[in-house]
């Protein structure tokens, strides 16, 4: 009898904290969870808003460059506000990077967008692009982090031609409630005719 009571008590000690953790990290996009912690969890709308903010920033940097504005300051502000370099590790693999494939430092990310410390960089945001649109294949959401993957399309401002790029973005919510990119992997789609 004592052994049965001890087993039940041990099971309760495992199940109760686990259920509390699960409740605090449920996605609120369904709107059914009223837990106060869950109200601060990331939603799908948060992710799509973060994507649109990133897309608008890429277009704005290119416009500033084309119009003789301070595109470098705009790009630095964009990387600082949208990527989590000040908060911790950011895993960034840009589309058009082969020698410096991985940009684990903020200065390297900035270089990719507007030229800088990495010699191979031509300034991806300086194309310029007139539009960037995301098509999510899927979004995986936790309470304080999210990952999404799919295709995004960049419209060349000079030719109107659209370029399809594959992406995976990871987001983390900071103490101020803002989503910061902590994973960004982009690549051009596989082309079986190229060897």
d(CA 184, CA 144): 17
d(CA 38, CA 41): 5
pLDDT at 30 over 60: no
162 in any annotated domain: yes
CATH number for position 163: 3.10.450.50
116 in any annotated domain: yes
- Per-residue model confidence as pLDDT tens digits over 88-108: 999 999 999 998 899 999 999
164 in any annotated domain: yes
Q: 18 falls in which pLDDT band (50, 70, 90)? A: very low
Name residue, tokens 């030229």: 115
170 in any annotated domain: yes
33 in any annotated domain: no
194 in any annotated domain: no
13 in any annotated domain: no
d(CA 5, CA 2): 5
pTM of the model: 0.80
> Which residue range is the domain that position 73 belongs to?
42-187
Name residue, tokens 């031609």: 161
- Per-residue model confidence as pLDDT tens digits over 157-170: 999 999 999 999 99
66 in any annotated domain: yes
């Amino acid at each position: 009898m004592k052994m049965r009571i001890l087993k039940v008590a041990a099971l309760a000690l495992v199940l109760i904290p686990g259920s509390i953790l699960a409740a605090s990290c449920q996605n609120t996009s369904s709107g059914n969870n009223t837990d106060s912690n869950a109200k601060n969890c990331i939603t799908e709308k948060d992710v799509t808003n973060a994507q649109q903010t990133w897309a608008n920033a890429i277009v704005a940097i290119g416009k500033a460059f084309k119009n003789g504005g301070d595109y470098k300051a705009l790009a630095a502000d964009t990387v600082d506000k949208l990527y989590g370099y000040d908060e911790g590790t950011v895993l960034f693999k840009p589309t058009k990077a082969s020698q410096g494939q991985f940009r684990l430092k903020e200065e390297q990310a900035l270089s990719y967008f507007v030229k800088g410390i990495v010699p191979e960089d031509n300034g991806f945001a300086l194309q310029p692009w007139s539009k960037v649109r995301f098509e999510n294949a899927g979004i995986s959401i936790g309470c304080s982090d999210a990952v999404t993957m799919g295709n995004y399309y960049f419209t060349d401002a000079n030719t109107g031609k659209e370029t399809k790029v594959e992406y995976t973005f990871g987001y983390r919510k900071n103490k101020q409630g803002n989503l910061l990119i902590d994973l960004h992997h982009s690549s051009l789609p596989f082309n079986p005719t190229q060897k």
